[in-house]
Amino acid sequence: MSAAKLEVLRIESLRGSTRPFELRFDPRKRLTIVYGENGSGKTTICDALELLGDGAIGWLGSMGLGSGVHQYWPSVGASAADIVVELKTTTGSWRARVGGRQVRVSPPAGAPNVRILRRSQLLRLLEALPSKRYEELKRFIDVGGVEASEKALSDLLLSLERQQTDVNARLDEALHGLEADWQAAGNPHASAVAWARREVTEAATTSEAQLKALQRLHTAHQTLTTYPQRLLVAQDHLAKSQQELVGAEGEHRAAVRVAEDRADELVRLLEAAQPLLGTTPPPVACPLCESQERAAGLFEAVRERLDRLSSIRAGAERVSSATKAVEHERANLQRLRDDYASDAAALWALCTSGESQAAEELPKASPPTALEALTTWLDATQRLSEAWRERESALTGREEFLASLRGRLESHDKHLSLSQSLADLLPRAKAAHQLVVERRKLFTDEILNAVSEEAGRLYEIVHPDEGLGKIHLALDEAKRASLEVEATFGAQDGVPPQAYFSQSHLDTLGLCIFLALAKWEQPEETILVLDDVIGSVDEPHVDRLIGMVCAETDAFQHCLLTTHYRPCREKLRWGLLDVGECHFVELARWTPETGLQQIGGTPDVQRLKTLIEESPPDLQLVASKAGYVLEAVLDFLTQLYELKVPRKQEGRYTIGDLLNGIDGRISGLLRIEVVAGGSPEVEREIELGPVIANLRQIAQMRNVFGAHFNELSFQLLDSDALSFGQKVLELAEAIVDPEFGWPKKDRSGSYWETVGGGRRRLHPLRRPAS
Amino acid sequence: METPSERLAELILERLVEQGLVLPRNTKRLLARLAKGEMNAQDWRLELEKATKHEEES
């Protein structure tokens, strides 16, 4: 596998990292187990990787902190701008910084792909509603984009089907209309469509101009018909006005005769003088003779005389008015004659211009010049006007029929063409839609089936022969984005695991499903982060679970597993877990002052060596640690070979009990072969019998120096205690490989060997028969 | 890294082209739109009509 190896993760001002923290990875190992008690900062390391890979810290978002969750990313007292997460690998280095709510990773290309599973997610994977479960897993199986495009295709299909129904209905409608017309026409030609096409293309067409000429002809004739009556009215008005004038003139002459001589002129003179006399102040002299005599009261005198002459004045006004009326009526009559002449000329122009070809008959003579002769002419031409009207109506009806026929034919042709296009398009749209739907289901089913199978395989590793498994994942097609999980429980298939499985089994199942999904998506480019996911797994299964996780790590670029499970730490320190090549990191308890702190995870064998090498050595610590390590070695050997030890409550065996269990027959056969890494060659052999025999002689050093205060130790040499420590170290280093732990695998069939290539081989495979 | 939608879109377009429902020269452009859910009904219609026209002409 050529994926880049992780070298160092640097974290500043993120969550618990109140001080800069560096996690250096072992480049030879693909699995890093981070152990720490609660509150040691394990999750901060996971947060850092998630920030780098996903640009957010997902679990905080589900803690009810609202939309401003990013404000809780920095360490206490730091700001978002202070946050730095940097991951260095063998191929590059990526750094995440926070600006506002945005996380910027530079360089953006090739940024690490991180898949993270936390304890809280684990619960949601199985316990949540199917839709929530889908949310947790959708990044692996979400094809929402394609589903949206599929929906658009489905919409098109529905739309085309509706169009086809509509087009066919319109086509039928047009065809029925044409057939009705065709039948009304007596079924000429072979079909309604052929007949209609011929009708609209070959039938003589009447121009709009001809129809309008007929309309104008008829209107012009109708206009002339109004003139005789209008002539009578005008003549009558003239006669009456003339009569009125004659009467007025007579009455006026009679009034003048009875009045003083030249009364008429006098009235006009007085009327002219009245305004001159009515001024204020009144004139001091007569304006006509300039005499000042009797000037006073002259105005009143003129008014009295005018009053007396008023009938003459009224008669004059009536004559004037009657004269104007006569002139007016004469003018009206003349205008009528002029209008007639014009309208008559217009009608005759229509008749003679050639525009009125549509009229089958026209007047033979023009309208008479004299209006008085019009009635005779109108009587002679009235039937022609009616004929023009009928002709116009008939032509208009024909045009409307042809327009209707043309419309139906056009509708028929248009919808026939559309129907043919849809007939081509619709099957293609159906085929495309069916293909997309089938492919999408197949794609998702393939993923889910493969993931189900893989999850079942992983689950079987952790829970062998328990009759639980046969995982089945399926998307609910009716609900979309809804993931169903079924499993086998006992002999019953297809049960919801939430209903029957224990919490521990559910957690394991969730982890197996997550791992199977993560493996599906380019795992060799994926950093897998499992944050505290083994906390609730019960003791009998935890070793197998960790073993399974470690074995699956090979598929990924790297795997980081955090745990606060203490037995896990102890077993790892003693190499009792089959974890292969694992990098073990232990965190100290976190404080705001220290931030995250890595502490030495030194195994006890290494610690013993260090104690022996100290100058001067602390004999009590050397003897104590040596006794502790010796107990572990003897416990391992007696269990491996099923040797006899005294049965005690809670298995509290002394070193003496355990040493006595390794009797002479097995002791003489115990032998270690040390094999160089990557080579089948045996580098050296170590006989364990002499070492154990020696230890049997000096084992009391543990109690004398290491276990209790007693004066006996004063009488012994320092080298006695050191010798005990060195012999225990010799035995432990012979048996325990510093990387791969204890030789517990019997797959060779002839010896026990360590995992990871069998760098320690312990002989014999079985204790000799007694 | 390819998303599940992108992988599925590739498979779908491959089959659509095989069946003559989409023109091969358009697949590169269609791939991203199909995967991102950006194909609307008119886009589908256009692509299907283009393929139909091409088939009729050839």
Cβ contact A62:A614 at 8 Å:
no
**B16–A432 CB contact, under 8 Å:** yes
Order of all β-strands in the sheet with A468-475: A468-475, A483-489, A492-495
What are the beta bridge partners of residue A21? A11
Q: Which pLDDT belongs to residue A466?
A: 75
Closest Cα partner for A508 from A468, A558, A567? Answer: A468
Q: Report how far residue A31's alpha carbon sits from residue A355's, in angstroms, rounded to the nearest whole number.
A: 105
**B36–A145 CB contact, under 8 Å:** yes
Neighbours of A326 (CB within 10 A): 20
The yes/no answer to whether this complex scores an ipTM above 0.90 is: yes
Share of chain A above pLDDT 70, in %: 92
Q: Quick check: A66 pLDDT over 70? A: no
Cβ contact A249:A317 at 8 Å:
no
Angle at A65 between CA A60 and CA A68, to 5 degrees: 95
Tokens of A248: 């007025």
Closest Cα partner for A197 from A405, A442, A468, A58? Answer: A405
Identify the residue among A137, A436, A438 best suited for mutation to test binding to B, counting B beta carbons within 10 A and taking the highest: A436
- What one-character-per-residue DSSP string does B8-36 give? HHHHHHHHHHHTTSS-GGGHHHHHHHHHH
pLDDT, tens only, A562-587: 988 887 777 777 766 665 667 888 89
Reduced to 3 states, what is the DSSP secondary structure of residue A320? helix
Worst-scoring range by mean pLDDT, A82-91, A277-286, A483-492, B9-18? A483-492
At A1, the pLDDT band (50, 70, 90 cuts) reads very low
At A312, the pLDDT band (50, 70, 90 cuts) reads confident
Closest Cα partner for A20 from A39, A1, A48, A46? Answer: A48
Tokens of A442: 């197949």
CA closest to B49 among chain A residues: A425
Closest Cα partner for A199 from A419, A508, A501, A406? Answer: A406
Choose among A142, A159, A425: nearest Cβ to B4: A142
Choose among B8, B9, B52: nearest Cβ to A424: B52
Q: What is the pTM for the complete model shown?
A: 0.60
For residue A746, give every residue at least 6 positions away whose Cβ sits within 8 Å of its Cβ, in sequence order, or none: A752, A753, A765
- What one-character-per-residue DSSP string does A48-92 give? HHHHHHHSS-HHHHTTT--TTGGGGSBPTT--GGG-EEEEEESS-
Mean pLDDT for A136-164 is: 90
With beta carbons under 8 A apart, name residues in chain B contacting A159: 41
Computed on alpha carbons and rounded to an integer, the radius of gyration of chain B in Å comes to: 12
Share of chain A above pLDDT 90, in %: 41
Q: How far is A749 from chain B (nearest CA, A)?
A: 45
Helices (H) and strands (E) in chain A, counts: 24, 18
DSSP A524: G
Q: Report how far residue A741's alpha carbon sits from residue A759's, in angstroms, rounded to the nearest whole number.
A: 10
For residue A54, give every residue at least 6 positions away whose Cβ sits within 8 Å of its Cβ, in sequence order, or none: A114, A116
Q: Report how far residue A195's alpha carbon sits from residue A185's, in angstroms, rounded to the nearest whole number.
A: 9
What are the beta bridge partners of residue A473? A485
Q: Quick check: A479 pLDDT over 80? A: no
Choose among B1, B5, B37: nearest Cβ to A522: B1
Q: Which pLDDT belongs to residue A120?
A: 77
Q: For residue A751, which phi and psi values (nearest 5 degrees)?
A: -160, 170
Terminal CA-CA length for chain A: 49
With beta carbons under 8 A apart, name residues in chain A contacting B52: 424-425, 428
Mean pLDDT for B41-50 is: 95
- Using the structure block, give the residue that is written with the tokens 């296009």: A421
**H/E stretch holding A512:** helix A503-520
Q: Where are the beta strands (DSSP E) in A140-264?
A: none
At A190, the pLDDT band (50, 70, 90 cuts) reads confident
Mean pLDDT for A615-629 is: 91
CA A652 to chain centroid, in Å, comes to 64
Worst-scoring range by mean pLDDT, A200-214, A322-336, A438-452, A670-684? A200-214
Cβ contact A726:A624 at 8 Å:
no
Mean pLDDT for B34-55 is: 94
* Highest mean pLDDT (candidates A113-122, A331-340, A495-504): A331-340
Measured CB to CB, residues of chain B less than 8 Å from chain A are 1, 3-9, 11-12, 15-16, 19, 21-22, 33-45, 48-49, 51-52
Choose among B19, B36, B44: nearest Cβ to A156: B44
**B4–A155 CB contact, under 8 Å:** no
For residue A526, give every residue at least 6 positions away whose Cβ sits within 8 Å of its Cβ, in sequence order, or none: A113, A114, A115, A518, A556, A557
* Highest mean pLDDT (candidates A345-349, A481-485, A509-513): A345-349
**What are the C-alpha distances in Å from A63 to residues A41, A66, A67, A69, A692?**
18, 8, 11, 9, 57
CA closest to A422 among chain B residues: B49
